[in-house]
Chain A
Amino acid sequence: MSYQDKYEMVCGVETHVELATKTKIFCGCTTEFGGEQNTHVCPVCLGLPGTLPVLNREAVNLAIKAGLALNCEIAEFTKFDRKNYFYPDLSKNYQTSQYDLPICKNGRLEIVVNGESKTIGITRAHMEEDAGKLVHSGESITTSDSSYVDYNRAGVPLLEIVSEPDMRTVDEVIAYLQELVQILDYAGVSDCKMEQGSVRFDVNVSLRPLGSRELGTRTEIKNLNSFTAVRRCLEYETERQAEVLNEGEKVIQETRTWDESQGVTLSLRTKEEAHDYRYFPEADLVPLKIDREWVERIRATLPELPAAKRERLKTLGLSVYEAGVLTSSKAMADYFDQVMQKYADAKIVANWIMGDLSALLKANNRSFEDCPVKPYQLADMLKLLKKGEISGKIAKTVLEEIYTSGKDPAVIVKEKGLVQISDQDALEKIITEVLVQNPKSVADYKGGKEKAFGFLVGQVMKATKGKANPELVNKILKEKL
């Protein structure tokens, strides 16, 4: 029995995205991922006595850009606040964040689930600084003798995007997250590298009896770092809450954590134990006035966003599915557009990108961001194919060769002698030989066995090392038989 038989899920998500600035939000340290521990630090991000924050303009630019991409209102007046809590990875024991006047609010985005589109509201998006990272000497914090703090990440700019509790199924949640991450990726607001923790999710989830309008008691599950984790976690948590409710108990409002290895959520702290963050205005920074010219300047830098891109691809004759796959990452979509500039057959370009090229990248654990086959090389190869200079089969070989050697397709075709044999006389000669050598198949074919024809084609291809023009082979064979 599934929770869905009796209950409806209500879910909202807080997404923390690292903004793609070169330097931290309040100091000049690099935001580069990795690096030896505590090397990307200075007195300001270490929170040493007497230091003061200076706001990174570019972080504001990116926050505005994200807000515009998510159809938000951009605040004309915004400010920073302190969120006070003690934790050793927080160098000042308060996080500089935004409380009552966030930079963005009242946005939305569209998702499509099972062919139906739905609008998900964005309550707000606010800027804040990331904390450092605790490194434990043992397996976990409880089994360690000592812990160390790495402040490299402290002060990396984050945007926290809070959705409305508009999602009713796990699929909707995943669709929302995918669309959100795609938009941020397209807008260039974040590098969206989930494996490096550039995007993290906190989900708020509750159940209510089917047909009920009231909200049930929610739990918040913090710090999920992949779509898979969100899906598994929600699948677990909804069933857990359903069991509690089925037993006539009440769901406790609490913060929970997702244990990936056990596949369960565990209680972190209850409402009574919740932090009182004692938010109050950050007096070390002045409030920020964002005039409309500033907003328009940022709007002008917004690229085509995924939804618009999908629509455009559909007008090129691609299916909803193809448009969806091609726009699933900005790098892939950009790649498609670049190939199209040199070879404007959307269907063929889409097939090669989604098929052979994607397979090659996947097999080598790479992505379109650093694809060794340059868009012009794929276009050139497709031109050779169209002109009939190479066969479809050879084309696959050529693509692999470009991938490994980086050489241009024309060079590869020439060096390896891969030019398709489209010479009528040469092919006739070869085919005559094949027919002589395979009298049985000839007889079979003439006796009505269609299969024998395929075998003969194969023999011709074998003799030409695949270079024979297949159409011509078919034609000549039929004539000769």
Chain B
Amino acid sequence: MKTIRKSLTELHTLLVNKEISSVELTGEYLDHISEFEPRIRAFITVTAEKALARAKKIDQKIAQGESIGPLAGIPMALKDNLCTEEVATTCASQMLRGFIPPYNATVAARLEAAGAVLVGKLNMDEFAMGSTTESSAIFLTANPWDLSRVPGGSSGGSAASVAAGEVPYSLGSDTGGSIRQPAAFCGVVGLKPTYGAVSRYGLVAFASSLDQVGPLTRTVRDNALVLNAIAGYDVLDSTSVPFNKPDYTHFLENNVKGLKIGVPKEFFEHGLKPEVAEVIQRAIKTYEQLGAEIEECSLPHMEYVLPAYHVISTAECSSNLARYDGVSYGYRAEAEEMIDMCETTRAKAFGPEVKRRMLFGTYALSSGNYEAYYVKAQKVRTLIKQDFAQALAKYHVLLSPTTPTVAYKIGEISEPVACYMGDVYTIPVNLAGLPAISIPAGFVDNMPVGLQLIGNYFAEGLLYRAAYAFEQNTGYYQEIPALLREAE
């Protein structure tokens, strides 16, 4: 039975109707992973045995006539910065090679409670710092649409695995676009929820005030189903918000009549490739044809987004990553003296991008620089929030390209700053703490282009509605990478 690239709803129906068992389903996905991994390399760890044992338990439930939830018995994978009990969690860094957490991230625990079957942990940029997954200390991950291209990052493994059909869905994390950008590059749906909507407990921190966990899926409905399972207040995360969590699938109506969509003109600057712009213009036309009201708008402080983001995120990362010193877990370099050991450990086990950001952040927080950098960046952040507040008072959602370009060639971007520039449309959303989704919007040279929709706080439902209507009326999600077509 061909289960690869079926939707979560279809897979659930197969399981409930006993047309396939969870063990069989899991087996098919594990086979698919074995077949594709040599080319994709999305997985740092594959947990075949544990997955089959788990699937067996779900099958027992089904056999006993227990009703199962929409994710039960269905395989999935997690970005390798989400802690998983008794399963290695590396953050794609030498620093955490061999680190096996004694606890589950809240999202991992919630998926486990929903009966999800973890089949592995996914590659990423080291400690989520990067936009190509090239800073992974483990290996490179390829873009399933073109193996010579990057999958994006930092959740590159999360996006590539879904695009390659290795898992029906995955979780990633998004600090400045790390879910949406790889989703765009790999032609899948990626949601960065409102800051505080999903627990960060057990997500290895990059920048605490920006990080958020979210789902990567093939379809909008699948995305809503996964968000249903992971969102909601968590007592273990003081920054998670107690809010009334709706059933997100209730928003999936194919109707955007009267929906007011703002198109910030600043999101069409900063190196946007004309071919990508064309795809987005076509998307805007589609929305118009579907009855949405489109208007150009402005977010005047966008030019300060990158510097503000890099000061805040690196400042937080310099402190968050201080704990990796070789003392009680992870990599340790041998040295005569205590301080030497700590210094050598950090010198040897962190990659260049992580070091660069920690240095930058340390500098920005140092006395004499703090006011000029950190405090200033926080002020910019307030202005950016205000820009969005004004725009979202007028429009239901804002529409933009997710990225200025399609996926880069592996090794194409060697300059860090050039790489940072690619996140210019996604970063402001993290600074404001808003939710945003990237959905497939078309192709340029057979490479997927992502459309970003930004909503108000906790308005994920509305984003799903807007995304669903577009998806149902365009059908880009049905496109399949050549690699997969050949396999079929």
Residues of A within 8 A of B (CB): 43, 46-55, 82, 84, 86, 88, 91-94, 141, 147, 149, 276, 278-280, 283-286
Contacts and interface: CB of A to CB of B under 8 A. Distances in A.
Contact of B365 (A55, A93, A141, A278): A278
B195 to A, nearest CB: 10
Contacts of B329: 48
Interface stretch (B45-53, B317-325, B441-449, B460-468): B317-325
A86 B101 contact: no
Contact of A93 (B99, B322, B367, B374): B322
A91 B367 contact: no
A283 B312 CA distance: 11
B91 A84 contact: no
Interface stretch (B200-208, B261-269, B402-410, B451-459): B200-208
Given A52-B201, A82-B319, A280-B319, 10 more contacts: A46-B328, A48-B101, A48-B102, A49-B89, A49-B205, A50-B202, A283-B209, A284-B238, A284-B239, A285-B238
A47 B366 contact: no
Contacts of B208: 283-284
Interface in B166-219: 200-205, 207-209
A7 to B, nearest CB: 31
For chain B, which range describes its interface: under 10, 10 to 19, 20 to 34, or 35 or more residues? 35 or more
Contacts of B339: 86
Given A276-B367, A285-B238, A94 B319 contact: yes
Interface of B: 81-83, 89, 91, 96, 99, 101-103, 105, 200-205, 207-209, 235-239, 315-316, 318-319, 322-323, 325, 327-329, 338-339, 342, 362, 365-367, 370, 374
A24 to B, nearest CB: 14
Contacts of A48: 101-103, 329
B105 A52 contact: no
Contact of B202 (A47, A51, A93, A280): A51
Contacts of B370: 278, 280
18 contacts: A43-B103, A47-B323, A48-B102, A49-B83, A50-B201, A50-B204, A51-B201, A52-B200, A84-B318, A84-B365, A93-B325, A94-B322, A141-B338, A149-B328, A278-B362, A283-B209, A284-B208, A284-B238
Contacts of B205: 49-50, 284
Contact of A88 (B203, B315, B338, B374): B338
B204 A149 contact: no
A80 to B, nearest CB: 10
Given A49-B99, A52-B201, A88-B325, A280 B91 contact: no
A9 B202 CA distance: 51
A92 B322 contact: yes
Closest 7 CB pairs of A and B: A93-B322, A283-B208, A278-B365, A283-B209, A49-B204, A50-B202, A50-B83
A123 B463 CA distance: 50
How would you classify the secondary structure of chain B's contact residues: helix, strand, loop or mixed? loop
B365 A280 contact: yes
Contacts of B238: 52-55, 284-286
Contacts of B342: 86, 88
Contacts of A54: 235-236, 238
B326 to A, nearest CB: 9
Contacts of B203: 50
B239 A276 contact: no
A285 B200 CA distance: 12
Contacts of A276: 366-367
Contacts of B365: 84, 278-280
Nearest to A93: B322
Nearest to A92: B323
A51 B329 CA distance: 14
B374 A91 contact: no
Contacts of A92: 322-323
A86 B202 contact: no
Contacts of A55: 238
A209 to B, nearest CB: 32
B279 to A, nearest CB: 36
Contact of A91 (B83, B204, B318, B323): B323
Contacts of A279: 365
Contacts of B338: 88, 141, 147
A93 B338 CA distance: 14
A49 B316 contact: no
Contacts of A280: 315, 319, 365, 370, 374
A88 B332 CA distance: 13
A91 B324 CA distance: 9
B394 to A, nearest CB: 29
Output the residue of A43, A52, A55, A92 with the most chain B CB within 10 A: A52
A88 B325 CA distance: 8
Nearest to B199: A52
A55 B207 CA distance: 20
Contacts of B322: 84, 86, 92-94
Contacts of A84: 318-319, 322, 365
A49 B101 contact: yes
A280 to B, nearest CB: 5
Contacts of A49: 83, 89, 91, 96, 99, 101, 204-205, 323
Contacts of A50: 81-83, 89, 101, 105, 201-205
Output the residue of B208, B209, B327, B338 with the most chain A CB within 10 A: B327
A92 B324 CA distance: 8
A82 B365 CA distance: 11
B460 to A, nearest CB: 21
Nearest to B211: A283
Given A43-B103, A286-B238, A88 B319 contact: no
Nearest to B367: A276
A278 B365 CA distance: 5
A354 B431 CA distance: 65
A148 to B, nearest CB: 10
Nearest to A47: B323
Nearest to B378: A281
Nearest to A55: B238
B283 to A, nearest CB: 35
B380 to A, nearest CB: 16
B327 A88 contact: yes
Nearest to A274: B367
A279 B238 CA distance: 20
